[in-house]
Structure 1
Amino acid sequence: MKFFIDTANLNDIAEAESLGILDGVTTNPSLMAKEKISGDKAVMAHYKKICDITSGDVSAEVISTDFEGMKKEASELIKIADNIVIKIPMIREGVKALAWCTSQGIRTNCTLVFSPGQAILAAKAGATYVSPFVGRIDDIGWDGMQLIEEIAEIYEVQGYETEILAASIRNGKHIIEAARAGADIVTCGLSAFESLLKHPLTDIGLEKFLADHAKAAGK
C-alpha cells in the first residue's frame, strides 16, 4: 500500500520524504488556506514547491464546478510538473471532466466519493485514483471501511484499473484498517503515519537493550 501525505505544509512533506515512506501528496483549497496560501499565482507556485520536494504524484484540485472551467484549470495545472495529478470532484460535470482528462492522457484523482456507485462512475470515466472519504462517513454514523471493502470488491470483479485512495484517514488504526480493506493508497497527516512507529514494548525493549549494553561496557 502506498502512503500519500494530505497537507500543504512543506515541512511536513519534507519530513515524510526524509522517512523514505512517501509515495505522493494530496492537498485541497482548505489545506492551502491553512498555510495562508491564496491567489492563483501563489497556489500554483506552492504546488511547484511541493513537486520539487517529492517525485511522487501530487494531486492539485480544480476550483471550478463546470466542465469548461475544469478543462481550463486542468490544462494549466499539468504544466506545473510531470507528477501533477488533477483532483476533480464527484459531480456530473466532474465525471465529464474526468473522461476528458482521460482522453487527453491527463491523470486524475476523483475526490469526494461516498458510495460504490460514485466509485464505479469514476472508474468508468478513467480516473487514475478514486478517493472515498472514510472519516467523514464515520462521522455520520456509517462505516467508512465497509465502503473501501465494497469498492475493492467491485474493482476486482470488474477489472477496473483505478486505484483506491482512502482519504479522510485520521489515525494509525484507520491506516491499518484501510490496508486490510483493500485500499491501494492512504492519504493522511504526518501524525497518523508517525503513530505507526509507536508501541510501548518497543520503548521498553530499547531501554533494556541500551541498559544491558551499558552494563556490558562497564558504564
Structure 2
Amino acid sequence: MQIFIDTADINEIRDLNETGLIDGVTTNPSLAASQGIQFTDLIRQICDIVDGPISAEVIALDAAGMIEQGKKLAGIHENVVIKVPLTVDGLKACYALAEDDIAVNVTLCFSAPQALLAAKAGARYISPFVGRLDDQGWDGMQLIRDIQLVYDNYMFDTEILAASIRHPQHVLEAAKAGADVCTIPPKVFRQLYKHNLTDIGLDAFMADWKKSGLSI
C-alpha cells in the first residue's frame, strides 16, 4: 500500500520525506489556507520535495471553473493530481481533465455508487472519507471493501485512496481491505512506528551494551 502524507506543512513534508517511506502528498483548501503561501507556490515547493503524486484541489464549484483551475494547477508539475469534489460538476470536470490525460483525484466520497461514477468518469484516484463516516456512526472501512469489490468486478483502474484517517488502526484496516493508497496526517504516520515494547526492548539492549564495555 502506498502512503501519502495529508498536509500542506512544508517542514512536516520535508521531515517525513527523509524516511524514504512517503509516496505522495494530499492537500485540501483547509490545509493550504493554514500555510499563508500563494497556493501555486505551495504546490511547487511540495513537488520539489516529494517525487510522487501531489494532490492539489480546485476551489471552483462549477465544471468550467474546475477545468480551468485544474489545467492551471496541472501545469505546475507533471506529478500534480487535480482534486475535484464528488458532485455532478466535479464528475464533468473529472471526465474532461482525464480526456486531456490529467490525473484526477475525486474527493469527498461517501458511498460505493459515488465511487462507481468517479471510476466511469476516468478518475485516477477515489478518496473515500472513512473517518467522517465513522464519526456519523457508519463503518467507514466497509466502504473501502465495497468499492474494492465493485472495482474488481469491472476491472476499473481507479485507485482507492483511503482518506480521513484518524488513527493507526484505520491504516491497518485500509491495508487489509486492499486500499491502494492511505493518506495519513503526520501525527498518525509517527504513531505507526511507535510501540512501548519497542522502546522497552531498546532500553534493555542499550543497558546491556553499556555494561559490557564493548564498542563498535
Give the TM-score band, short-chain normalised: over 0.9
Aligned to 2:21: 21
Q: Is 2:127 aligned against 1:124?
A: no
**How much does 1:14 deviate?**
0.6
1:78 alignment partner AA: A
Q: Is 2:103 aligned against 1:143?
A: no
CA separation in 2, counterparts of 1:34 and 1:137? Answer: 25
CA separation in 2, counterparts of 1:131 and 1:99? Answer: 16
CA separation in 2, counterparts of 1:63 and 1:87? Answer: 9
Aligned to 1:189: 185
**Equivalent position SS for 1:19:** coil
CA separation in 2, counterparts of 1:218 and 1:99? Answer: 65
**Equivalent position SS for 1:87:** strand
Equivalent of 1:112 in 108, 112, 119: 108
- The answer to which of 181-190 and 159-168 deviates more is 181-190
Query: Which consecutive residues of structure 1, in runs of 5 or more, have no partner in the other structure?
Result: none
Question: Which digits, 9 at most, give the CA deviation of each residue in 1:131-161, with x for residues without a partner?
Answer: 0001100111101000001101111121111
CA separation in 1, counterparts of 2:42 and 2:151? Answer: 34
After superposition, residues 1-219 of structure 1 pair within 5 angstroms as 1-37=1-37, 42-217=38-213
Alpha carbons of 1:218 and 1:3: their partners in 2 closer, same or farther (altered >3 Å)?
closer
**Equivalent position SS for 1:203:** helix
Deviating beyond 4 angstroms after TM superposition, the runs of 4 or more aligned structure 1 residues are none
2:194 alignment partner AA: K
Question: Which digits, 9 at most, give the CA deviation of each residue in 1:159-212, with x for residues without a partner?
Answer: 111000000001111111111111111112111011011111111111111111
Q: Identity of aligned pairs, percent? A: 51
Q: Give TM-score, length-normalised by structure 2.
A: 0.97
**Equivalent position SS for 2:3:** strand
CA separation in 1, counterparts of 2:33 and 2:80? Answer: 20
**Equivalent position SS for 1:210:** helix
- The answer to which of 197-206 and 83-92 deviates more is 197-206
1:99 alignment partner AA: Y
**How much does 1:36 deviate?**
2.7
**How much does 1:218 deviate?**
6.8
**Equivalent position SS for 2:8:** coil
**Equivalent position SS for 2:138:** coil
CA separation in 2, counterparts of 1:150 and 1:92? Answer: 22
**Equivalent position SS for 1:160:** coil
2:188 alignment partner AA: A
Question: Which digits, 9 at most, give the CA deviation of each residue in 1:73-121, with x for residues without a partner?
Answer: 1111111111000001100011111111111100000000000000000
Q: Give TM-score, length-normalised by structure 1.
A: 0.95
2:22 alignment partner AA: L
